[in-house]
Amino acid sequence: MSITLSSQSEMFAGLFLKFLYIYIYILVVFLTFPVSIVQEYERAVIFRLGRLLGGAKGPGLFWIIPCVDTFRKVDLRTVSFDIPPQEVLTKDSVTIMVDAVVYYRIFNPTVSITKVENANHATQMLAQTTLRNMLGTKSLADILKDREEMSEQMEAVLYAASKNWGIKVERVELKDVKLPTTLQRAMAAEAEATRDARAKVIAAEGEMKASHALKEAANVMSESPSALQLRYMQTLTEIASERNSTIVFPLPIDLISNFMKR
């Protein structure tokens, strides 16, 4: 009888330890795996058995049921990406290479997960096609002159298209517009020709003014012989001051006689 009671107590003790181990294991699983943390700049979108579970969670701790719930974290910070150089045919049939940078952020985490497969990739592809399509309707002169206006128009188009994905495009900047080498040379030659023409016009205007001044001076001297004689004496004085040697000039007798009369 005592042997039977001893075996039963050992059996119960074994079962108790087994249940205790199972309980501890389950407790550890529920205390570790279901807990997740999202940062201040993140949100978690949770799915339970494939269905969306409420709105986005966070920041802080949240619980999920293992093997039942899945979640995806979404970064809410503003991010940027470069649009690789795009070959664009302008309105006036000039082929150029244009690149840009786009700044955007996710403002609706749930929509960005449920409405589009990859919001970041979709935004990049949309930016590339928008850049080509928009600049293709502009002339080269407009693109070079109104780059800021082009950026604002592209920002508005991207925002209107991406807001349905929970994305807000905050800024677009055209970085560089590369022209073909032949066109660069032609524009440089045109600019040089323009500068030369402007210089010639300025020189011609100066000569015209000088000729008018000489004409007026000639008219004054023709009306007053003494003015011509004074100019002659002034020229002799200027020549003499530039040289140390003695220079003999013929002096008209009528010039001396005119001064003697005065």
On the question of pLDDT at 255 being above 60, the answer is no
Lowest mean pLDDT among 26-35, 66-75, 162-171, 225-234: 225-234
Residue 227 and residue 203 in one domain: yes
Whether residue 126 sits in one domain with residue 198: no
Same domain, 84 and 144: yes
pLDDT of residue 180: 73
Q: How far is residue 207 from each of residues 90, 105, 212, 221, 222, measured CA to CA in Å?
A: 44, 64, 9, 21, 22
β-strand partners of 47: 52, 70
Do 90 and 64 have their domain in common?
no
Indicate if 164 and 231 belong to the same structural domain: no
105 inside domain = yes
Same domain, 164 and 115: yes
Among 164, 179, 194, residue at a domain's last position = 179
71 and 58 in contact (C-beta within 8 Å)?
no
Q: Does residue 99 lie within any of the structural domains? A: yes
pLDDT band at 164 (very low <50, low <70, confident <90, very high): very high
Q: How confident is the model at residue 233 (pLDDT cuts 50, 70, 90)?
A: low
Tokens of 70: 């899945």
Q: Is 218 within the bounds of a domain?
A: yes
Amino acid code (one letter) for 69: D
Question: Do 90 and 151 reside in the same domain of the chain?
Answer: yes
Report the CATH number that the domain containing residue 149 is assigned in CATH.
3.30.479.30
pLDDT of residue 193: 62
More confidently predicted of 198 and 218: 198
3 lies in a domain?
no
- Residues 171-210 pLDDT 10s: 999 988 888 766 556 655 565 566 667 767 777 777 777 6
User: pLDDT (tens digit, 9 = 90+) per residue, 147-158?
Assistant: 888 899 999 999
pLDDT band at 100 (very low <50, low <70, confident <90, very high): very high
Q: What's the mean pLDDT in 77-84?
A: 93
81-95, 104-118, 225-239: range with lowest mean pLDDT? 225-239
User: Could you say which of 47, 74, 101 is where a domain stops?
Assistant: 74
Q: Is the pLDDT of residue 256 over 60?
A: no
Residues in the chain: 262
> Do residues 165 and 122 both lie within one domain?
yes
Mean pLDDT of the 76-91 span: 91
Query: Residue 89 — very low, low, confident or very high, per pLDDT cuts 50/70/90?
Result: confident
Tell me the mean pLDDT in the region 48-52: 90
Alpha-helical runs (H) found in 33-78: none
- Is position 204 within any domain? yes
Statement to judge: residues 201 and 227 lie in one domain: yes
- Whether residues 168 and 239 share a domain: the answer is no
- Position 20 scores a pLDDT of 82
Question: How much is the mean pLDDT over the chain?
Answer: 79
In this prediction, residue 26 carries a pLDDT of 77
The β-bridge partners of 36 are: 62
> Is residue 6 situated within a structural domain?
no
130 falls within a domain: yes
Whether 5 is covered by a domain: the verdict is no
Asked which of 138, 155, 179 is the last residue of a domain, the reply is 179
Q: What total number of domains does the chain contain?
A: 3
Entry pTM: 0.60
Considering the domain architecture, whether residues 69 and 86 belong to the same structural domain is answered as: no
Judge if 119 and 44 occupy the same domain: no
| Residues of the domain holding 57 | 13-74
Are the C-beta atoms of residues 94 and 50 closer than 8 Å to each other?
A: no
Q: For residue 74, what pLDDT is reported? A: 94
pLDDT-derived band at 6 (thresholds 50, 70, 90) equals low
